[in-house]
Each structure stands twice: as structure tokens, then as C-alpha cells.
Copies of this chain bind each other. A is one copy, B any other.
Amino acid sequence: MSRVLRVAAAQLGPIARAEPRAQVVDRLLVLLRDAAAAGAHLVVYPELALTSFFPRWYMDDTAELDWFYETEMPGPETKRLFDEARQLGVGLHLGYAELTPDGHRYNTSILVERDGSVVATYRKVHLPGHEEYEPWRPFQHLERRYFEPGDRFATHRAFGGVVGLATCNDRRWPETYRVLGMQGAEVVLIGYNTPIHYPPDPSHDSLVGFHSHLVMQAGAYQNGMFVVGVAHGGNEEGVVSLADSCIIAPSGRVIALTAHTDDEIAVADLNLDLCANYKETLFDFERYRRPDAYGAITDRKGAIPPP
């Protein structure tokens, strides 16, 4: 059985606040067909891929907020995307805002196999930003108001390998990759929305692309796995977000990269057997890890400096 997985990172450019779902799904379908034409087995869409990145706006009208959420997946607007992917034999990863029947809200992604079966859903663990309206900001980042956190990272047998899911800010935390690596991940799929401007400390702004690649490259290398990072970027409603979608090998090298800041696919063949070049040598966890020395990672939340 082939262990080469052809993946298309399906980057999205800006989505206007008023852009209807049907129009966004049309854009996703164009990318899906591009991916299928390129022979991809899996198309990876970014985080919150069906609407504008709404956490930038403070909303206290629940009906206004609810418009951005999906109550079923696939739902009325997304069903044709799932149907066409199945017909084309292309798996898909899609990020969306989830509103459950009992009123819980999550920043969720779904992974679907080439035959249309649902592999897993994942709810974002590391929610960035803030809970309350902060008038000093040029734009808000209210993920901690609009979503509850997910509770775990998991891996899944799919696409001939072991696949893990993470979302946006999760990628900055080395624990994300390691918890997935400890569950055998060979490929981690990560969608993101990352504004270039970081209001709490603008010294980050000129480094945002560097940081995004740095953390994904290190996570890939240190766990001997592929990482697929997919942006919803460009200038959206006046806020510019990072593009730079990429596919990273277990060597830590970027092997595919988008060239624009709009809708575009970047494709690479992921030879999953390359993971062993790291997992079975330098990073043979069973032989070389020292969990007895790692207690401070799980025994506390914040740092405890020496007295």
C-alpha cells in the first residue's frame, strides 16, 4: 500500500463580512477541483473557512453572532462541497464555527476521508485573545468570548497514516505537536487566521511570518512528522492577515508554499515513510525521552521562578 499522500493546502483570501455562505462554498469548490486536478488525496481548508474572521468584531446581539456558526456539518450550504469531494475521491479538512444543539460554541475542524466518511472533529484547545471588549484595540480578537475551549488532542488512522488536527494558535505551543507526536502523528493539519498586527505588542508584527513557520518547522522536526499549515489570509475588512500557507516535511523543511495572499492551492507529496528518518533515530522517543524530568510541563499552568 502506498504511503505517499498527496495533499493540497487550500489557502483562502479575504471573505467579506456580508459574503454569503453559498459564495464561499463556490470558492471552496474551485479549490477542491484544482486539488482533484492536481491528483490530491486530501484538500486542507483553513480555520473558520466559511465566513469572515468574526472574532475581530464585538457583537452582543446573539442573532447577529449566530449567523457565523454552523449547527450541522455538513449543513444545507456545505453539503454540495462534501458531496463533490466524495465523488472526486478527495478527502477534506474544513474549519468552521460550531454551535451545538445545547448552545455550546467551539472553533472546530472536521476531517473527512476520500469515501466521505467522517474521520474526526477537533475543537481548538488553545484559544488566544480576550474575553471582553477592549476599546484600545484597532480590532478585537474575541475568540475567548465566542468559543469554549476543546479538551484534547487526538490522532486518527486515515489516509494510510496517522493524522492529527490542531488549529491556529495551537501551532505556537510545542505541547500541541508533542501530545500529537506521543500519539504517533505522521501528519498534522493546521488551519489559521493570523493578523499581521498584534495589538498587545507590535514588536511581533514584522516577525509574524517567521514565527508561523518557525513553530511549525520545529514541531515537524522534533516529532518526525509532516505539518500542513493553511491560512485564511489577505486584507479582510481592513485587517491584513498572514498567508504563507505551507507544507513542511519531517526534516523541518518547507516543501510547498503558496505564492499569493488569495485563494490558492499548494500541493506536495507526503511520503509518510520519511517520518521514520527521525522517529526511529535521533527522536526515538522510547529510547531517548526523559519524562521523569518533564514534570513541570504538567504540574503547573504558569511559570514558577526560583525564589
Using CB atoms and an 8 Å cutoff, list the residues of chain A in contact with chain B. 125-128, 149, 151-157, 162, 172-175, 177-179, 181-184, 198, 200-201, 203-204, 207, 210-211, 214-215, 217-219, 221-222, 251-253, 277-279, 281-283, 285-286, 288-307
Contact = CB atoms under 8 A, between A and B. Distances in A.
A279 B179 CA distance: 22
A271 to B, nearest CB: 12
A203 B214 CA distance: 21
B204 A290 contact: no
A174 B184 contact: no
Contact of A279 (B217, B290, B303): B303
Contacts of A222: 172-174, 215, 218
A128 B204 contact: no
A173 B306 CA distance: 22
A307 to B, nearest CB: 8
Q: List the 7 closest A-B pairs by CB distance, nearest first.
A: A184-B305, A286-B302, A218-B218, A174-B174, A182-B296, A200-B281, A285-B302
Nearest to A203: B277
Contacts of A151: 292-293
B174 A210 contact: no
What is the count of identical protomers in the complex? 2
A230 to B, nearest CB: 20
Contacts of A281: 198, 200-201, 204
A100 B169 CA distance: 46
Given A282-B172, A282-B198, A286-B302, A253 B207 contact: yes
B296 A297 contact: no
Contacts of A251: 203-204, 207
A251 B222 CA distance: 20
20 contacts: A153-B296, A155-B305, A172-B282, A173-B290, A174-B177, A175-B289, A175-B290, A175-B293, A184-B303, A201-B277, A203-B251, A204-B251, A207-B251, A210-B252, A214-B217, A214-B218, A214-B252, A285-B302, A291-B300, A294-B297
Contact of A293 (B128, B152, B285, B290): B152
A141 to B, nearest CB: 11
Contacts of A292: 151
A281 B306 CA distance: 21
A252 B211 CA distance: 8
A305 B217 contact: no
